[in-house]
């Protein structure tokens, strides 16, 4: 198993357990392994001799012989192919069974890759949900601070009380906009009249501050609604992802899946040359095509030897009864007794040998040519598969390199955003900073965190693809998988 023998994937005991469960319970993997077991049963079939032939015949009217009457005969014949034909057939069947095993490996490794992909996707979603939850808590704290600033602005105004100002956002915004439209004349507000130019100016400034404070509160609440919607969307994706993950394990969709909140980047450091050597040696697709080539080589040899004669060895057993009847003399046409010997009525055994003569050679030559062409086709498919795997390796390496650069970039941007956020927050708390700038920096900070989680998951999936095509941990003991 990958997670057991490969340290790169040994991050979590739960993941190891899930991989084991998937390998043991997945129907596609089990079906592929049963196909391999069935292919193994073809080896003794191909190496067995043809069944012997038994012939029996009886005379309705016994045939007279010199010393008796033949009642019938039994004939048993066993045919043997040319020397080495059965060995070539067994060799072909063995390579075909190995092809079935390599196909089982491919299906099993694809399953492991799906498990890893779904696992890292769930980890990414879980971390994004945790980041969104942290962002929501920050917005709630910011809302409290904005409300405090709004109450401070409204508490100095003679027109509004702090309690009434925080009842509903719509009412407060409407009242604040109405108060902001007061002129410098003797307009009444809340039953009181501004009697001086300085007093009217003070009230207008207070109302402008209240309006701005309520705008900040409403803006924060808009951000909260968007964050809540994003969290619901992430929660829905997690539910669907867990259902898919459980399907790979062949268990109910509602089963719990233990996923960590923190996604760890896998350590990976291997050059392309060493990986290509491992891929050439261990990739199941290449192994299957190699076994196919060897199978057609054995089939070519078998077709060549099938063009040679076949030998048969057998026995014929003749049933003979005693005779006491006379015969007619050729001179006087009278019956006279036959002189019998000690062989009268004695059954006879006759050894037999047969040889088949392969006169029609066209079919044997065509079979050899067919097998030779199929072997050449297997060679071409092997070369094509090797080229594709090499291209996939470089593609996944490019993905990992790109992900590493992006992860480093997002971490630097996160550090800068945190520093900027701290400075703007201090200015905002002192009444000098802008809420829009603070929210913008917080958005960037959250965006960098989400992108980092997605990129780490993409990096881990690319690494898993590399190890999948290299089949790094496959051993001979995997043949006793179940």
Domain for residue 175, yes or no?
yes
| pLDDT surpassing 70 at residue 169 | no
Average of per-residue pLDDT across 296-300: 95
* pLDDT surpassing 60 at residue 21: yes
Classify residue 161: in a domain, yes or no. Answer: yes
CATH number at residue 460: 1.20.1600.10
Arithmetic mean of pLDDT, 387-403: 94
Alpha-helical (H) ranges within 156-196 are 162-165, 169-180
In terms of Cα–Cα distance, which of 79, 73, 77, 81 is closest to 54? Answer: 77
Q: Is residue 330 one of the residues assigned to a domain?
A: no
**Which of these ranges, 33-37, 140-144, 210-214, 401-405, has the smallest mean pLDDT?**
210-214
Query: Does 321 reside within a domain?
Result: yes
* Nearest one of 107, 141, 143, 142 to 26, comparing CA atoms: 107
Are residues 73 and 34 both part of a single domain?
no
- Reported as a single tens digit per residue, the pLDDT across 35-66 is 999 999 999 999 888 899 999 988 888 887 77
Q: Using the predicted structure, report yes or no on whether residue 283 has a pLDDT greater than 90.
A: yes
- List pLDDT tens digits, range 109-168: 999 999 999 999 999 999 999 999 999 998 888 888 778 777 776 765 544 444 444 444
Max Cα distance, the chain (Å): 177
Please give the pLDDT value at position 148: 79
Q: Both 72 and 167 in a single domain?
A: no
Q: Which of 23-37, 225-239, 323-337 has the lowest mean pLDDT?
A: 323-337
Its pTM stands at 0.76
Is 179 a residue whose pLDDT tops 50? no
pLDDT at site 371: 94
15 and 121 in a common domain: yes
Are 367 and 466 contained in the same domain? yes
Residues 280 and 342 in one domain: no
What integer pLDDT is reported at residue 451 of this predicted model? 93
Work out the average pLDDT over 190-204: 43
**Shared domain check, 372 and 232:** yes
Examine the domain organization and report whether 204 and 303 are in the same domain. Answer: yes
Category of 148 on φ-ψ map: left (φ > 0), alpha (ψ -120 to 50) or beta: alpha
* pLDDT, tens only, 321-374: 887 655 544 455 555 555 566 677 788 899 999 999 888 888 989 999 999 999
The rounded distance, in Å, linking the Cα atoms of 74 and 59 is 12
Number of DSSP helices (H) and strands (E) in the chain, helices first: 12, 8
Residue 86: its pLDDT value, please?
93
Full domain range(s) for residue 347: 53-79+315-325+336-355
Alpha-carbon distance of 278 to 273, in angstroms, equals 9
Residues 200 and 158 grouped into a single domain:
yes
Asked if residue 306 and residue 246 are part of one domain, the reply reads yes
Counting every residue written for the chain, the total comes to 482
- How confident is residue 472, by pLDDT bands cut at 50, 70 and 90? low
Average pLDDT score, the chain: 81
Q: Say which residue, 168 or 280, is predicted with more confidence.
A: 280
Mean pLDDT across 391-414: 94
Asked whether the predicted pLDDT for residue 75 surpasses 80, the reply is: yes
Q: Are residues 60 and 134 in the same domain?
A: no
- What is the distance between the terminal CA atoms of the chain, rounded to a whole angstrom? 13
Gyration radius from the chain CA atoms: 45
- Select from 464, 17, 2, 441 the least CA-distant residue to 245: 17
How many structural domains are present in the chain?
Answer: 2
């Amino acid at each position: 198993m990958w997670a057991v023998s490969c340290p790169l994937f040994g991050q979590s005991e739960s993941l190891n357990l899930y991989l084991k469960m998937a390998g043991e319970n997945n129907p596609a993997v089990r079906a592929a392994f049963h196909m391999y077991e069935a292919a193994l049963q073809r080896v003794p079939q191909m190496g067995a001799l043809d069944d012997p032939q038994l012939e029996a015949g009886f005379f309705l009217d016994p045939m007279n012989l010199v010393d008796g009457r033949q009642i019938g005969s039994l004939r048993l014949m066993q045919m043997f192919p040319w020397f080495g034909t059965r060995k070539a057939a067994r060799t072909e069947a063995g390579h075909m069974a190995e092809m079935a095993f390599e196909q089982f490996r491919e299906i099993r490794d694809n399953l492991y890759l799906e498990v890893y992909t779904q696992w890292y996707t769930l980890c990414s979603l879980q971390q994004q949900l945790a980041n969104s939850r942290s962002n929501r808590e920050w917005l709630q704290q910011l809302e409290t601070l904005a409300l405090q600033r709004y109450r401070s602005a409204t508490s100095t105004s003679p027109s509004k009380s702090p309690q009434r100002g925080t009842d509903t956002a719509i009412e407060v915004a409407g009242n604040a906009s109405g108060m902001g439209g007061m002129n410098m004349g003797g307009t009444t507000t809340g039953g009181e009249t501004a009697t001086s130019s300085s007093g009217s100016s003070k009230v207008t400034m207070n109302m402008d501050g209240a309006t701005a404070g309520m705008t900040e509160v409403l803006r924060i609440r808009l951000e909260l609604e968007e964050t809540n919607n994003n969290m619901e969307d992430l929660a829905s994706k997690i539910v669907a992802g867990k259902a898919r993950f459980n399907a790979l394990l062949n268990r109910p969709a509602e089963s719990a899946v233990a996923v960590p909140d923190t996604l760890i980047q896998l350590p990976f450091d291997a050059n392309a040359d060493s990986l290509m050597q491992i891929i050439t040696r261990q990739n199941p697709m290449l192994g299957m095509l190699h076994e196919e080539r060897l199978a057609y080589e054995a089939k070519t040899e078998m077709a060549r030897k099938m063009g040679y004669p076949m030998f048969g060895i057998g026995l014929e057993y003749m049933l003979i009864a005693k005779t006491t009847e006379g015969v007619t003399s050729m001179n006087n046409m009278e019956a006279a007794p036959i002189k019998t010997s000690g062989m009268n009525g004695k059954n006879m055994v006759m050894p037999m040998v047969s040889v088949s003569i392969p006169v029609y050679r066209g079919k044997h030559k065509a079979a050899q040519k067919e097998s030779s062409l199929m072997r050449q086709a297997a060679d071409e498919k092997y070369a094509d598969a090797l080229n594709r795997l090499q291209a996939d390796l470089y593609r996944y390496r490019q993905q990992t390199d790109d992900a590493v650069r992006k992860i480093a970039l997002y971490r630097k941007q996160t550090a800068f955003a945190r520093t900027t956020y701290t400075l703007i927050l201090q200015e905002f708390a002192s009444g000098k900073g802008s809420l829009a700038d603070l929210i913008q920096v917080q958005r960037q900070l959250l965006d960098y965190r989400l992108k980092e989680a997605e990129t780490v998951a993409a990096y881990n999936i690319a690494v898993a693809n590399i190890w999948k095509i290299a089949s790094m941990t496959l051993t001979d003991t995997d043949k006793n998988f179940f």
